[in-house]
Copies of this chain bind each other. A is one copy, B any other.
Amino acid sequence: MTTVTIWNEYRHEREDDEAAAVYPDGIHETIADALADGQPADSSLEIRTATLDEPDHGLPPAVLEETDVLLWWGHEAHDEVADEVVDRVQERVLEGMGLIVLHSGHFSKPFKRLMGTTCNLQWREDGATERLWVVDPGHPIAEGIDEYIELPETEMYGEPFDVPEPDRLVFTSWFEGGEVFRSGCCYRRGNGRIFYFRPGHETYPIYENEEVRRVLRNAVDWAEPTGGKGGSGRTFGNRERDRD
């Protein structure tokens, strides 16, 4: 049984008509649909959601403890996320929980904490075309994707992207307006796998795109912890001498 928790700030969709029109039940529900798509009847995937305004932001210790892969969408309320929840997310990633950070989540506290950088970038809201090129065709996150994914209307994100050099770069975006962006970045931190994936915006129906949905499913598979929820052993501290 793999437990996936989709965390969403869930403010735009309740406060802004345009966002509500695109994601009437919230971005988290659309992502939940995306992950459930094409699952067999006996799927071992259990999909949950959590949002900012729930107690503990929907992420009390017990929920994080059970979560194998956490997805994170946030934008306008990053600062409202409590530091103790960020602490727990970081700790769980280091233990082995997968973390998938989406779009404007580049500025979320958990991502910045785990990267150690500002995670800043350039941006422009012009609804122009983006092409996400697969630069690593053998990577499991790109499985089933053709040469590129084309999204007709997106917000632009441009380089420089202030993140550590990714362990693997899976996608690089081309933007109609003249920019490029490393839009699919893999990291390992502690025992956990982290994937940053650029697509997604509160007023464009990007999580309805079939190829984007495929990437989300692939990323969940890739991010599952090795050795199950407990992860593999990480022993630290004072060590007795066992050789003379």
**Interface segment out of the listed A73-81, A166-174, A204-212:** A166-174
Q: Known: A139-B226, A179-B133, A239-B179. Contact between A117 and B189, CB under 8 A?
A: yes
**A199 contacts the other chain (Cβ, under 8 Å)?**
no
Chain A binding surface, main DSSP class = loop
**Size band of the A side of the interface?**
35 or more
Structural contact, B239 and A192, CB atoms closer than 8 A: no
Copies of this chain held together in the complex: 4
Nearest CB in chain B: distance from A157 CB, A: 10
For the complex formed, measure the closest distance between the CB of A228 and the CB atoms of chain B, giving whole angstroms. 9
> Could you tell me the distance between the alpha carbons of A175 and B227 in the complex, rounded to whole angstroms?
28
**A164 within 8 Å of B by Cβ?**
yes
Q: Would you call A61 an interface residue if the criterion is a C-beta within 8 Å of the partner chain's C-beta atoms? A: no
Check A94 against B118 for contact (C-beta < 8 Å).
Answer: yes
Q: Mark A129-160, 1 if CB is under 8 A from B, else 0.
A: 00101111111101111110000000010111
> A8 vs B137: C-alpha distance in the bound complex, in angstroms?
30
Q: Does A232 contact B (CB under 8 A)?
A: yes
A124 contacts partner chain B, Cβ-Cβ < 8 Å: yes
Contact across chains for A239 and B191 when beta carbons are under 8 A apart: no
